[in-house]
Chains A and B, each alone.
Chain A
C-alpha cells in the first residue's frame, strides 16, 4: 500500500529522516515509536505532502504523494490541533469533512452514531466552538473526523496523548477493530509503548531519523521495546 524509497529529509546539514526502504502492506496496523526528534512527525508530514522530501519518495497506493494529489481521496489523517477549524462546532466540522469526502449529512450522522460511547456526551450538541473544547475533546473530534468517508489509509500522530484512560481504551478497541477487518491501513505513532504494542501488528522504531527496529508484534514485543529504550538510556549515560 505505502512504499517508501530512499527517503531523506534534511534541514541544512542536519538529516532528520533517512529511510532506505519501508513497505507497509494494505490492511496492516502499523506503529511508529521513537523518542522526541526521532522523525515520527516528519515522516507523517512527508506522507501527507506537508513538507518536501530532500530525496526519495513515498508512493501511496501507486500514487507518488509529492507529484500527484490523487492520494487525498483515500487518505485521512489527524496530526495535531492545527487540523481542526477552531470557529466551527464539532458537528459543523464533521459535516465539512464529510462534504470534502463526498458524504452527506445522513452518512456522517450514521458514522457518528457509532462513536457515541467514544464521545462520552461531551462533543455533540454542546453548542461550543472547537477552539473552546478541552485538548482531549479536540483530539477526539480530530480522530473521529479522520474516519469519515471510508478512507483506506488513516494516519494518526500521537492519538493516545491527552486522552483520558477510558477513551484510550475505547480508541484502542476502535483501532483493533479496524485492523481486524484488514481493509484499512492504520498508521499510528506513540510514545506509549504499551498502547502501540497492543494495537499494532507491526512496530517500527525510529531513532534520529533512521529505522533501528522493525518488529512483528508478539508477546515479547513490549519487553523488547522496553529494553531497547532502556538500553538507549544506558548508552546515553555512558556517552
Chain B
C-alpha cells in the first residue's frame, strides 16, 4: 500500500505543471540548496575545531549542548512559517478502500521525511563524524546523534500540534528573547543549566530513551488527532479566518489614491507572504550590524553603501519587485474597472516611499558607528526614494507571472522570473559602482552628495517618470492579463 502512496507522490512531483517550466529558476534554487547543504556540512565539520580553539578549556560537546535549546526553539519558530502538514493531498484517497489508519500513517511518515528535518542533520552528522575521529566513544556519539534525530522528529510533530497557532508563535518568540535576556544580563545561566541536560544525553546513552519517547509521543498525539479528523469538514477543510476589519479612513487624507492605499494595506496585512515581507524588512535593519562590527572594511567602504541601499530599500525590493503581480488574481478586474492606472501606481510608490522613510528612521542608531554611517544611510534613502522607486516600478511592467496570495510565505518562488534577478543590477549594483568610483577618485563627500542629488532629482521629476512608467504598463497590459491568468505560472 505504501508503495502506491510513494508512487503517487512521485507522479505529483514530476507531472506538476510547474515541472520543466522555468528551468533557470530551478537551477538557481537548486544551486542555493546545494550551497546551504555544503555550508552546513562545512560548519558541521569545522564546528568542533572552532569551539576547541575559542574555548580551549571546555569540552566542545558541552558548548554545543548549551545551544541546543535555542536551536529547538528557533526551529519551532521558523517551521511555523515554513511547514504545513500536507493534508490536502489525501482528499481523493478518502473515497477509496484504504483504511484511515493507513492514510494517517502515510501523512505523518511523509512529513517525517520532509526536507526540513534533514537540514540540522547536515550539521549533526559531520559533527559526529569529527567527534568519532577525535576519539570520542562511539556508543555515546551514536546515542547522541540518535537523540538529535529524535528531537528533530519531535520538533516536526510538535509543529503540527501547534498547528499554526499565532499565540504559540508569539510565545516562542518571547521565550527565545526572554531566555537570551536572562543569559545576557546574568540573571540566570540558561545555557549552562539546560546545556547540562543535553550533555547528559551524550554522557548516558540510556537517556536517549527520553527524546525517543517524546518523538513517539508527539507522533501518537498527531495520529490520534488526525484519524478523528479525517473528514472533509474537519481538518481537510481550509481554515477560514474571522475577519477583523480595521478602519482605514485616515488614508482619506492622501486624496484620490486613498482607495488603492487601503487596498494595498489590506493586501499586505491579510496575506501571509506579504505580511512576512514586512517582518523580514523590519528585521533587516540589523543587517548592517554584521558589517559595522567588523573593522576590516574602513569607514567608507563600498560595502556600507550596499548595506545602506539594502537596509533602507529592503521593502522596496521585496515588495516592489512583484508589483503588479501581487494583484494578479484580480488584475482583469482592475483593468476593466474605472481605475486610472496612474493612481494605482502612485499608491504603490507612496507605500514604498513610506517604507524607505521608516527604514531610514530605524537605521538612525547606526550613528553609533560614526556620523559617516548616518550620512551614508541618508544618501542611500534619498537614492532609493528618487531613483530606485521608479526603477522598480518600471521593471514591474515586465512581470507577468501569477502570484497566488493564499499560498504559503516561505520558499515560495511564485511570480519569480528573470526580471527579479535583472532588477538587482540597477537597484543595488549601479549605485555601488557609482559610489566606489567617486569615492576612490574624488572623495567620500562628493560620492554621497552625488547619490543624494540623483535621488532628489528623481524625486523632482517623479511626475514625468510616473507618466512614462504608466505608459509602459499600458503597453504591456494584454501580456500581463494573459500571464496573470495562467495558474502555476
A binding-site residues for B, Cβ under 8 Å:
48-52, 72-73, 75, 77, 79, 82-89, 91-92, 96-97, 99-101, 127-129, 131-132, 149
Given A129-B241, A129-B270, 4 more pairs with CB closer than 8 A: A51-B481, A75-B336, A86-B330, A101-B338
Residues of chain A contacted by B242 (CB below 8 angstroms)? 127-128
Residues of chain B contacted by A82 (CB below 8 angstroms)? 329-333, 485
Q: Can you sample 23 A-B contacts with CB below 8 Å?
A: A48-B336, A50-B335, A51-B482, A72-B338, A72-B339, A79-B336, A82-B332, A83-B332, A83-B333, A84-B330, A85-B263, A85-B329, A85-B333, A96-B262, A97-B337, A100-B337, A100-B339, A101-B338, A127-B242, A127-B243, A128-B240, A129-B243, A132-B238
| Residue ID in chain B nearest A48 by CB atoms | B336
Contact of B336 among A72, A85, A132 (CB under 8 A): A72
Alpha-carbon gap, A88 to B263, bound state (A)? 8
Residues of chain A contacted by B258 (CB below 8 angstroms)? 99
- Give B240 Cβ to nearest chain A Cβ, in Å: 4
Asked if B267 is at the interface (CB within 8 A of a chain A CB), the reply is: yes
Asked if B226 is at the interface (CB within 8 A of a chain A CB), the reply is: no
Residues of chain A contacted by B329 (CB below 8 angstroms)? 82, 85-86
Alpha-carbon gap, A146 to B262, bound state (A)? 21
State whether B332 touches A87 (Cβ < 8 A): no
Alpha-carbon gap, A73 to B339, bound state (A)? 9
- Give B390 Cβ to nearest chain A Cβ, in Å: 23
Alpha-carbon gap, A91 to B330, bound state (A)? 17
Q: Given the interface contacts A89-B243, A89-B245, A100-B337, does A83 sit within 8 Å of B266 by beta carbon?
A: no
Alpha-carbon gap, A92 to B262, bound state (A)? 10
Q: Given the interface contacts A92-B266, A100-B259, does A84 sit within 8 Å of B333 by beta carbon?
A: yes
Residues of chain A contacted by B262 (CB below 8 angstroms)? 96
Asked if B277 is at the interface (CB within 8 A of a chain A CB), the reply is: no
Best-buried of A52, A72, A85, A92 by chain B (most CB within 10 Å): A85
Q: Given the interface contacts A72-B337, A72-B339, A88-B266, does A99 sit within 8 Å of B332 by beta carbon?
A: no
Interface residue ranges of B252-301 to A (CB < 8 Å): 258-259, 262-263, 266-267, 270-271
Residues of chain B contacted by A75 (CB below 8 angstroms)? 336
State whether A128 touches B243 (Cβ < 8 A): yes
Alpha-carbon gap, A88 to B245, bound state (A)? 9
| Residue ID in chain A nearest B256 by CB atoms | A99
- Give A139 Cβ to nearest chain B Cβ, in Å: 14
Contact of B266 among A48, A87, A131 (CB under 8 A): A87
Residues of chain A contacted by B337 (CB below 8 angstroms)? 72, 97, 100
Interface residue ranges of B225-253 to A (CB < 8 Å): 238, 240-243, 245
Residues of chain A contacted by B369 (CB below 8 angstroms)? none
Asked if B405 is at the interface (CB within 8 A of a chain A CB), the reply is: yes
Alpha-carbon gap, A82 to B486, bound state (A)? 12
- Give A45 Cβ to nearest chain B Cβ, in Å: 8
Q: Given the interface contacts A87-B405, A92-B266, A129-B240, does A49 sit within 8 Å of B330 by beta carbon?
A: no
Alpha-carbon gap, A75 to B332, bound state (A)? 14
| Residue ID in chain A nearest B244 by CB atoms | A127
Alpha-carbon gap, A174 to B17, bound state (A)? 41
Asked if B31 is at the interface (CB within 8 A of a chain A CB), the reply is: no
Alpha-carbon gap, A34 to B330, bound state (A)? 26
Asked if B19 is at the interface (CB within 8 A of a chain A CB), the reply is: no
Residues of chain A contacted by B478 (CB below 8 angstroms)? 50-52
Asked if B99 is at the interface (CB within 8 A of a chain A CB), the reply is: no
Q: Given the interface contacts A83-B330, A87-B271, A96-B259, does A132 sit within 8 Å of B335 by beta carbon?
A: no
Q: Given the interface contacts A51-B478, A128-B240, does A73 sit within 8 Å of B336 by beta carbon?
A: no
Asked if B133 is at the interface (CB within 8 A of a chain A CB), the reply is: no
Alpha-carbon gap, A88 to B262, bound state (A)? 11
The 0/1 profile, CB within 8 Å of A marked 1, for residues 355-378 of chain B is 000000000000000000000000
Alpha-carbon gap, A91 to B241, bound state (A)? 16
Residues of chain A contacted by B186 (CB below 8 angstroms)? none
State whether A50 touches B270 (Cβ < 8 A): no
Best-buried of A49, A51, A82, A89 by chain B (most CB within 10 Å): A82
Best-buried of B245, B263, B338 by chain A (most CB within 10 Å): B338
Asked if B406 is at the interface (CB within 8 A of a chain A CB), the reply is: yes
Alpha-carbon gap, A55 to B356, bound state (A)? 46
Residues of chain A contacted by B332 (CB below 8 angstroms)? 48, 50, 79, 82-83
Alpha-carbon gap, A91 to B240, bound state (A)? 17
Residues of chain B contacted by A84 (CB below 8 angstroms)? 330, 333
| Residue ID in chain B nearest A84 by CB atoms | B330
- Give A229 Cβ to nearest chain B Cβ, in Å: 29
| Residue ID in chain B nearest A132 by CB atoms | B240
Q: What 3 A-B pairs come out closest when comparing CB atoms?
A: A132-B240, A83-B333, A99-B259
Residues of chain B contacted by A49 (CB below 8 angstroms)? 335-336
Interface residue ranges of B463-485 to A (CB < 8 Å): 478, 481-482, 485
Residues of chain B contacted by A88 (CB below 8 angstroms)? 263, 266
| Residue ID in chain A nearest B240 by CB atoms | A132
Interface residue ranges of B395-429 to A (CB < 8 Å): 405-406
Best-buried of A87, A89, A97 by chain B (most CB within 10 Å): A87
Alpha-carbon gap, A55 to B270, bound state (A)? 42
Alpha-carbon gap, A99 to B249, bound state (A)? 13
Residues of chain B contacted by A86 (CB below 8 angstroms)? 329-330, 405-406
Residues of chain B contacted by A129 (CB below 8 angstroms)? 240-241, 243, 270
Residues of chain A contacted by B270 (CB below 8 angstroms)? 87, 129
- Give B21 Cβ to nearest chain A Cβ, in Å: 20
State whether B259 touches A92 (Cβ < 8 A): no
The 0/1 profile, CB within 8 Å of A marked 1, for residues 316-347 of chain B is 00000000000001111101111100000000
State whether A87 touches B267 (Cβ < 8 A): yes
Contact of B481 among A50, A87, A96, A127 (CB under 8 A): A50
| Residue ID in chain B nearest A91 by CB atoms | B245
- Give A79 Cβ to nearest chain B Cβ, in Å: 7
- Give B273 Cβ to nearest chain A Cβ, in Å: 11
